[in-house]
Structure 1
Amino acid sequence: MADWDYIIVGAGTAGCVLANRLSADGRTRVLLLEAGQRDNYHWVHIPVGYLYCMGNPRTDWMMRTAEEPGLNGRSLAYPRGKVLGGCSSINGMIYMRGQAADYDNWAQMGNRGWGWDDVLPYFRKSEDHHGGETDLHGEGGEWKVARQRLSWDILNAVQDAAAERGILPTDDFNAGTNEGSGFFEVNQKGGVRWNTSKAFLRPAMERPNLRVVTEAETEAVMMEGRRAVGVRYRHKGQVVEARAGREVLLAAGAINSPKLLELSGIGQADRLHDLGIAVAHDSPGVGENLQDHLQIRTVFRIENAVTLNQKANSLWGKAGMALDYALRRSGPLSMAPSQFGLFTKSDPSLETPDLEYHVQPLSTDKLGDPLHPFPAITMSVCNLRPDSVGDCHIATRDLAVQPDIRLNYLSAERDRMVAAISVEQVRHIMAAEALKPYAPQELLPGPAMTTREEILQGVGDIATTIFHPVGTCKMGGDPLAVVDDQLRVHGVAGLRVVDASVMPKIVSGNTASPVIMIAEKAADMIRAG
């Protein structure tokens, strides 16, 4: 007898959904393993607490990228959630699906059942939208979608400036096309972060057929021939083996799922041989196809407006923010990292937007630094569909060593062109009539950088990840595909991958809610056998 019917590795954005759905009948035995701790850290739940969760070993894997040539040789901190809820416990809380064309493209690549019309019901299934049930949105689901609880005059002025440049307001970024401007909807309830642990896992943890083990780091998938039969993990100084009668489900994320496959002997045969790992299955695509959104953080000093900079640099301002949150769950402590967004095109000939702006009423020299002592805003812009592709692979059999993460940002010529165009576009918006009362002055990348070559040099100094790695176990039928369109690992029975790593192409927006959709759809496919 196997110990469990299903073993899920990773209690993150996808794993919490899987644990809920697969244990719902009360009979199916499910083991959920999480390397991190429980999500009882107070900064997980206060929205502004992302500042104290990223870069904190209590909640973050503390990864770094390799030195990136396209970023002038810089290595970036690469936060990944190591806590119940995973990245949904430390992310920006923005509810975003991407574009209908993203999913239709997945289907056109040979992934049956992944077009927009196929996936929309799964987005709606989980959703509890503040606007109620419509053809596009769901009500009563586990995943709360709320309006933000504060506003800033300067952001309203940015919206007016964008409209002057042809980027018009929209009521809904999630209707299949996200073109336009508006305030982001967020995954919160009453001004408190709503992660997948609260949404999906906690209601299921009362079920006797579900066991959740935290601080359990999986070493490898156990194989018998070409079949996955369980996992081996470390817990409280002991090595434990657990067997799965039906399937092992990897939901460890775009960096750790390929790491586990490689440690288990599933990956590029030559690479595994060199590390002394017995090859269970030669899968050339494991760890390849790494994609991410690179954000260019342009900063503008302003006048005649209040931003978070003044509040955070004042004792009275801090006290006011704390009181506002304590009494009303509102104010700056309730805010997502980005409140306002724009979706537009780098080239008018494009069918759908390829640029996303995250606009923030605050500024720093770089992420993690103190806020500037003067009022300023940040206009972050990212290329939604980059051509640059990287990879991540283990360099040792030592479980404690992170993989080598190489994004190859701005290695594709088109991405370099779009980066330069996007900075020019930011400047065009900031020069609009609506913003003249605020006298914006460019600080980053700096007004002295005028040629595209100079702009790209400046971009290399300031651009950073927006935390959306995907694609390293992509689905499809081509030689580099790791899973099929049922998310089953090619060449291995009893093993699936269910997380952002299966995306064949990155979506045109934030990635958390698409991962929930993937897990919802996967749960139905898994139950169907």
Structure 2
Amino acid sequence: MSDLEVDYVIVGAGAAGCTLANQLSAQPDVSVCVLEAGPTDKHLMIRVPAGFTRVIGDTHRTWSFQTEPATWTGNRPIPLVQGKMLGGSTSLNGMAYVRGQRADFDGWAALGNPGWSYDEVLPFFRTLESRAFGDPEYSGRSGPVNVTSVRWRDPACAAFIDAAAECGLPFNPDYNGREQKGVAFAQATIHRRRRVSAATAFLEPARRRPNLLVVTQALAERILFSGTRAIGVRYVQDGKPISVKARREVILSAGTINTARLLQISGVGDPDWLAQLGVPVVNALPGVGRNLRDHYLCALVAAGQGFRSINQHAAWPRLGLQIARYFLGAVSILELPPPVMHCFMNSADDARDADIQGIFTPASNHRVHSGKLDSTAGMTFGFWQHRPESSGHVRAVSTSLADPPIIQPNYLTDERDRAVVLAGFRLTRNLLRSQSMKPYVRQETLPGERVETDEALLQFARETGRTAYHFAGSASMGPGSDRLSVVGADLAVHRLERLRVVDASIMPRMISGNTQATTMMLALKAADIIQRQNR
């Protein structure tokens, strides 16, 4: 292993890394090695969609980070779990499939990133997915990632659709199509009642290729350079340091947090930060670790009436029936993603597409994110701002990836973000208090009907808001003239040779949706770029 040399070394087997491994190893004359810090994804609770709640606390399969305390988050650290296994966070996440809007990608291109406009990335989205519904101009029918709509139906969900219509939001069964705005049952990476991850969609079909080596339990600790040329990666496995050399490229797909700090501890980043780590500067790029963005999730909770919610179905003895239904192929709570429905709304009364994403689930937990459902009927209305203006940073504290980094998203520090959050509370309450929902809502329990003023609602957001697990932007894509950009439009790191970044960290601005679909898309596009440049 210490003498191993391949064409491409990929660090990280998450959404991007698995996709790249499949695409690059499809060329039989090219050799690929993928390094994954965690174990395999062979676990029943990873396959069963609802089983992710059992995996989140597994420190063997997750990175258990937390954000730094900050004024606008009530001076509290916010837990941040990321996947550490084959599939990365796609083996752990809520499986929501939301691609984003045309304006997101046109905005990337306008920042000086040619090739990344909506019309130019749409073919890669279509190649990625297999959806049996939606306008074929916008959706794929035969891709490796199966996407289905939630099958669950109950009176509260039907009432939610009617409530949205009351509030001027149409039923829009394909928010990944021409327009996002509206309400619909969630689209999710679930097929035949099982999770579809980047590992199952991309890595498993490629594992039998002789030119692909996947190494698990391999913690990357340094990018190896010869001058300004990346030549390999040093990693640790079973306590032993091992090096793997790259004849063509080193590709970082370790995720927004780990990609940034791996660059930093390897000498690529802000010289002042590197000096504090005692790391010699290989390339002074002050943008590494900056521009960190995330969606800040706020939620309202209501006690229900007049229907049986997921709360009751998830308690014994009804849970036994749900387990039996799942294995018999009938509709069951075990096949559900966390959001049963999505609602895309505008914070302002204008013709623009949505700037707030809402989620609705006929389940509740009034103890605020403790993980245990209430014993009686309930429902939860969550939402986040699509494109937050607030940004922060991720910063290594030592040269060891065993030491958690500083993660500071600076949620709500921009006044414009706070205005959108307030609009989100108002819009969500309009849905909750609509005539259509009235038969099924007993009372709002969080934040409670007495919390009405802007000041009180913002205080509630500070005390209870949390991450939506959509971190992006810490190795931002942009032209070399942009002091804080890290990679160019071809995702090659500025002023370095044979080093590329391919994961959510390259997103220069946050997208209008969950990040997994876009991350897999950009990996498909990156593979196309790499193959064309290395012919």
Taking structure 2 as the reference length, what is the TM-score of the superposition? 0.97
SS at match of 1:80: strand
Residue aligning to 2:132: 130
Residue aligning to 1:505: 509
SS at match of 2:292: coil
Q: Which letter does structure 2 place at the counterpart of 1:84?
A: L
Asked if 1:419 is matched to 2:421, the reply is yes
Unaligned runs of 5+ in 1: none
Give 1:176 deviation, angstroms.
4.2
Q: Which letter does structure 2 place at the counterpart of 1:517?
A: M
1:175 and 1:132 map into 2 onto residues whose CA distance is 7
Give 1:132 deviation, angstroms.
7.8
Check whether the contact 1:68–1:74 (CA below 8 A) recurs between aligned residues: yes
Q: Which letter does structure 1 place at the counterpart of 2:118?
A: W
CA deviation digits over 1:151-184, x for unaligned, max 9? 2220110110111010110121111421000001
CA deviation digits over 1:215-235, x for unaligned, max 9? 000001001101100000001
Check whether the contact 2:314–2:333 (CA below 8 A) recurs between aligned residues: no
1:435 and 1:32 map into 2 onto residues whose CA distance is 50
2:514 and 2:296 map into 1 onto residues whose CA distance is 12
Residue aligning to 1:190: 192
SS at match of 1:434: coil
Q: Which letter does structure 2 place at the counterpart of 1:277?
A: V
Check whether the contact 1:132–1:139 (CA below 8 A) recurs between aligned residues: no
Give 1:350 deviation, angstroms.
6.0
Q: Which letter does structure 2 place at the counterpart of 1:380?
A: G
Give 1:349 deviation, angstroms.
3.1
SS at match of 1:229: strand
CA deviation digits over 1:240-275, x for unaligned, max 9? 011101000000000000010001000001110121
Residue aligning to 1:165: 167
Residue aligning to 1:281: 283
1:2 and 1:158 map into 2 onto residues whose CA distance is 57
Give 1:196 deviation, angstroms.
0.8
CA deviation digits over 1:326-355, x for unaligned, max 9? 211631010001110100101113622111
Check whether the contact 2:432–2:441 (CA below 8 A) recurs between aligned residues: no
SS at match of 1:233: strand
1:465 corresponds to which of 453, 458, 467 = 467
From the superposition, tell whether residues 368 and 41 of structure 1 become closer, same or farther in structure 2 (CA, over 3 Å). Answer: farther
Residue aligning to 2:352: 351
Check whether the contact 1:445–1:459 (CA below 8 A) recurs between aligned residues: no
Residue aligning to 2:458: 456
2:331 and 2:11 map into 1 onto residues whose CA distance is 36
| Length, aligned pairs only | 528
Give 1:442 deviation, angstroms.
1.0
From the superposition, tell whether residues 225 and 168 of structure 1 become closer, same or farther in structure 2 (CA, over 3 Å). Answer: same
1:290 corresponds to which of 282, 289, 292 = 292
Give 1:51 deviation, angstroms.
0.7
Residue aligning to 1:103: 105
Bigger mean CA offset, 333-342 vs 437-446: 437-446
SS at match of 1:298: strand
RMSD of equivalent CA atoms = 1.3
Residue aligning to 1:326: 327
2:57 and 2:128 map into 1 onto residues whose CA distance is 30
Give 1:120 deviation, angstroms.
0.2
Residue aligning to 2:402: 400
Give 1:64 deviation, angstroms.
0.9
Asked if 1:256 is matched to 2:235, the reply is no
Asked if 1:521 is matched to 2:535, the reply is no
CA deviation digits over 1:31-75, x for unaligned, max 9? 000001000011111000111122321321111111132111121
2:263 and 2:162 map into 1 onto residues whose CA distance is 49
Check whether the contact 1:4–1:244 (CA below 8 A) recurs between aligned residues: yes
Q: Which letter does structure 1 place at the counterpart of 2:506?
A: V
1:329 and 1:286 map into 2 onto residues whose CA distance is 48
1:131 and 1:176 map into 2 onto residues whose CA distance is 13
Check whether the contact 1:11–1:84 (CA below 8 A) recurs between aligned residues: yes
Bigger mean CA offset, 214-223 vs 341-350: 341-350
Check whether the contact 2:341–2:361 (CA below 8 A) recurs between aligned residues: yes
1:485 and 1:17 map into 2 onto residues whose CA distance is 19
SS at match of 2:188: coil
Give 1:2 deviation, angstroms.
7.4
Give 1:133 deviation, angstroms.
7.9
CA deviation digits over 1:392-445, x for unaligned, max 9? 000112220111000111111111111112112211111111112123411111
SS at match of 1:484: coil
SS at match of 1:211: strand
SS at match of 1:221: strand
Q: Which letter does structure 1 place at the counterpart of 2:463?
A: D
1:299 corresponds to which of 298, 301, 317 = 301
1:367 corresponds to which of 362, 366, 369 = 369
Q: Which letter does structure 2 place at the counterpart of 1:182?
A: A
2:91 and 2:331 map into 1 onto residues whose CA distance is 19
Residue aligning to 2:383: 381
Check whether the contact 1:47–1:333 (CA below 8 A) recurs between aligned residues: yes
Taking structure 1 as the reference length, what is the TM-score of the superposition? 0.98
1:402 and 1:125 map into 2 onto residues whose CA distance is 36
From the superposition, tell whether residues 133 and 244 of structure 1 become closer, same or farther in structure 2 (CA, over 3 Å). Answer: farther
1:181 and 1:380 map into 2 onto residues whose CA distance is 13
CA deviation digits over 1:464-512, x for unaligned, max 9? 1111000000000111000000000001100000000000001001110
SS at match of 1:161: helix
Check whether the contact 1:445–1:462 (CA below 8 A) recurs between aligned residues: no
From the superposition, tell whether residues 14 and 466 of structure 1 become closer, same or farther in structure 2 (CA, over 3 Å). Answer: same
Bigger mean CA offset, 289-298 vs 141-150: 141-150
Q: Which letter does structure 1 place at the counterpart of 2:323?
A: A
1:104 and 1:369 map into 2 onto residues whose CA distance is 38
1:223 and 1:282 map into 2 onto residues whose CA distance is 14
1:178 and 1:276 map into 2 onto residues whose CA distance is 47
Give 1:459 deviation, angstroms.
1.3
SS at match of 2:410: coil
Q: Which runs of 4+ in 1 moved over 3 A?
A: none
Q: Which letter does structure 1 place at the counterpart of 2:319?
A: K
Check whether the contact 1:192–1:329 (CA below 8 A) recurs between aligned residues: no
Bigger mean CA offset, 105-114 vs 129-138: 129-138
Mapping of residues 39-78 of structure 1, within 5 Å: 39-78=41-80
SS at match of 1:274: helix
Check whether the contact 1:191–1:329 (CA below 8 A) recurs between aligned residues: no
